[in-house]
Amino acid sequence: MEHSTQPFAFSRPGASGHRLGGWAGSGLIVSTLLLISPAARAETLTAWQFDPATQQLTLTLPSGITPQYTVETNPARIVLTLPQTQLGGVVTQQTYSGAVSQVSLSQVNDATVVVLDLAAGTALAADGASLVSIAAGEQTRWVLTALATPGALTVMAPGQAPSSDSGQMIVELPVIPGNSPQLGFPAA
């Protein structure tokens, strides 16, 4: 009985000399499958920046990747999802003082998720946030702005002392009499 020296040799019955065998045949099949169904290519997030003064998160992504955001109320936060994006060697959590108290990044399946946690007592405007894109060649800069409403001012009655735990700044203004010549008002 004759044995073939080629592993996994394939031949058609009745054909001679035409063999598709071994690793070459397997490689051909695999490469054909890859051409038919290409895998989605994930990009890498390499940098991000948050400015607490303007409440803006800025990041740059390759063109074609469009982030989406949602506003959640309990707990109050803005969630930005970057599809087909992997976390690179970036800081994944940063704490701030202001309307946005923390920015954290995590990997969820094939997306990077950025969460902007709002400080206690911070309310968002009706729109919640704005997401603006700025095209720059092969990349797009995305700016997410948290639209926090200004905090309500607390008015104190004369003689009422503010509490030390209110977190408010106390500014004492000098009393200027209305008839002071230093004001430069014209005589009535």
Q: Identify whether residues 33 and 101 lie together within a single domain.
A: no
Q: Are residues 82 and 24 part of one domain? A: no
Q: Do residues 59 and 24 both lie within one domain?
A: no
| Helix, strand, coil shares, percent, the chain, to 5 | 10, 40, 50
> Do residue 95 and residue 29 come from a single domain?
no
Q: Half-sphere exposure of residue 90, counting CA atoms within 13 Å on the CB side? A: 22
The one-digit pLDDT tens for each residue of the chain (188 residues) are 555 454 444 444 555 554 555 555 554 454 444 444 344 567 889 889 999 999 999 999 998 899 999 999 888 999 999 999 999 889 999 999 989 999 999 999 999 999 999 998 888 888 889 999 999 889 999 999 999 865 533 333 344 455 545 455 555 555 555 555 555 555 55
Q: 């169904």: which residue's tokens?
A: 37
Q: Which domain holds residue 2?
A: 1-39
> Which CATH number is 131's domain given?
2.60.40.3500
Q: How many domains does the chain have?
A: 2
- Tell me whether residue 169 is in a domain: no
Q: Are residues 99 and 76 in the same domain?
A: yes
Residue 124 lies in a domain: yes
| Three-state DSSP state, 182 | helix
Ranges of beta strands (E only) in the chain are: 9-11, 19-21, 43-45, 48-51, 56-62, 68-73, 76-82, 85-87, 93-95, 100-108, 111-118, 124-136, 139-148
- Could you tell me the pTM of the whole model? 0.59
Residue 154 included in any domain: no
| 77 SS3 class | strand
